Amino acid sequence: MAQQLRAAQRTIQSNGDALSPLAGGTSIRVSGVSKTFYSNGRVVEALRPVDLEVEAGELVCFLGPSGCGKSTLLSIIAGLEDATSGDVFANDKQVTGPGTDRILLFQEAALFPWLDVQQNVEFGLRQAGIPAKQRATIAQKFIETVHLQGFEHSYIHQLSGGMRQRTAIARALAIDPAVLLMDEPFGALDAFTRDRLHTELETIWSATRKTILFVTHNVREAIALGDRVVVFAPRPGRIVREFRIDLPRPRSLEDHQLVDTAAEILQVLRSETEASEQVEEAYGTVR
């Protein structure tokens, strides 16, 4: 058993070596990426040309109200959506479509209801043609990582929202991508579950040193998680400012430094957004 596990880990690592970035190198480089589309005969500027560099192993949060292009940018980086202009490089290779080196996680978890938890976690491995026995070993390991032992054969509708997100994280980790792209993954969860998942994500991140891009509209979530917070503003979608967050980890949402930073970022967002009422609506005051 231990031997099998080690063998499985070797394959993961050898997979990972091909994909994982060099320490300290650039993991994601976004250059002049924009997105416009036509809607009812009008040109909508979903994203103005943006440039961005993300180091390997960095955890960067994209923050902004809805319609600011943050999710669009994430989809483009994932290769699931085409940019109108510009290029994306992952690990110095140009992105031309989806790839298993960049896995996107969705708010609705996007687990397959016809498969149980373990089969969901094995899905990517199955696509890669990894034999069943090895798949099971790898899946087991990541199910343990997200603390879902005992739920291997549960169906998705039997899981709570938090457990669904954990399963989705395990499913992504099993593929061993260099980059995790998380599109408001905890947006639909209650505050307690979200806090717990923040801590778990931070632990997983520090153990695996994966590059993580995390999209959220929650200011304090962004500051609690990110090495850097990239602030987006809507109409047209654009990046307005970047904040480096040097607070020690693990961070508490109640930490006064964190709350101060949140106030500062909110101030920037307010002044940058013409439609200030909408920001009020989306954020309220600092809670």
Partner 1 sequence: MAQSVSVLKDSEQPKASKHSPNQQTNTRRLLTKAIRLVLFYALLILIWQGLAASHIWKDYLFAGPIDVWGHVLSGFQDGTFGVAILTSLRRLAIGYGISLVLGVLLGLLVGSNRYIEETLGSLILGLQALPSVCWIPLSLLWFGLHEQAMIFVVVMGALFSITLGVDAGIKNTPPVYIKAARNMGSQGFALSTQVILPAALPSILTGLKQGWTFAWRSLMAAELLYITVSLGGLLENGRDLNDIAQMFAIMLIIVLLGVAIDTLVFGPLERIVRVRWGFAR
Interaction site with partner 1 (CB under 8 A): 9, 12-13, 16, 78-80, 98-100, 102-104, 106, 108, 110, 112-114, 123-124, 126-128, 141-142, 145-147, 151, 154-160, 162-163, 171, 173, 175, 193, 196, 199-200, 203-204, 207-208
Strand 85-90 versus strand 93-94 pairing type: antiparallel
Residue 11 or 278 having the CB closest to partner 1:
11
Q: How far is the CB of 11 from partner 1 (least distance, A)?
A: 11
- Token pair recorded at residue 180: 């995790």
Residue 79 or 226 having the CB closest to partner 1:
79
| 241/82 Cα distance (integer angstroms) | 24
- Which helix (H) or strand (E) element contains residue 132? helix 132-145
Residue 171 or 238 having the CB closest to partner 1:
171
Residue 25 or 250 having the CB closest to partner 1:
250
Residue 89 or 155 having the CB closest to partner 1:
155
Q: How far is the CB of 210 from partner 1 (least distance, A)?
A: 9
Q: How far is the CB of 207 from partner 1 (least distance, A)?
A: 4
Burial of 222 (0-12, 13-18, 19+ CB in 10 A): buried
| 25/80 Cα distance (integer angstroms) | 24
Q: How far is the CB of 63 from partner 1 (least distance, A)?
A: 23
Closest CA to 178 of 265, 76, 102: 102
Q: How far is the CB of 121 from partner 1 (least distance, A)?
A: 11
Measure Cα distances from 240 to 69, 70, 84, 179, 271 in Å: 12, 12, 20, 24, 10
| 179/134 Cα distance (integer angstroms) | 23
- Which helix (H) or strand (E) element contains residue 135? helix 132-145
Q: Which amino acid is at 203?
A: T
Residue 96 or 127 having the CB closest to partner 1:
127
Residue 108 or 255 having the CB closest to partner 1:
108
Contacts of 90 (CB under 8 A, 6+ apart): 27, 28, 77, 99, 101, 102, 178, 179
- Which helix (H) or strand (E) element contains residue 199? helix 191-208
Do 62 and 73 meet the contact criterion of CB atoms below 8 Å apart? yes
Q: Can you tell me which residue has the tokens 């790839």?
A: 99
Q: How far is the CB of 236 from partner 1 (least distance, A)?
A: 25
Q: How far is the CB of 37 from partner 1 (least distance, A)?
A: 16
Residue 124 or 226 having the CB closest to partner 1:
124
Q: How far is the CB of 157 from partner 1 (least distance, A)?
A: 3
